[in-house]
Amino acid sequence: MPRHVTYNLVTSGKSKVIVIDGYAFSIDIFRLETEKTWTLEVVDYRNTSHVWEEQFTSDVKALDVATKTIETEGALPFMRGNNVIPFRQAQSDVP
């Protein structure tokens, strides 16, 4: 029987909340304790998660990319929804 393996998630101290155009964005930077690269996630005011495909060699680089992207692009691109891939919904048996 396979054993269940768990890994600890390391959250960077560089994670923070910033306000752009009156909207709060949570910049979350994290990695598995067994990994060296960092993942960047920005959560908008609607609680929609925007995760970068790129992995970062440092949490400082991840924060820099997030901050520059939000400040350059503004809040609107995050709010449009055209860059969000929705989760599949379970098929209902009801017609």
pLDDT tens string 42-75: 998 888 888 999 999 999 999 999 999 888 888 7
Q: What is the dihedral of CA 29, 64, 61, 42, to 10 degrees?
A: 30
Residue 78's pLDDT band, with cuts at 50, 70 and 90, is confident
pLDDT in tens, 28-46: 999 999 999 999 999 988 8
Which run of H or E residues covers position 60? helix 59-73
Residue of 87 and 21 predicted with greater confidence: 21
Find out whether 50 and 41 touch, Cβ atoms under 8 Å: yes
Q: Decide if pLDDT at 9 tops 90.
A: yes
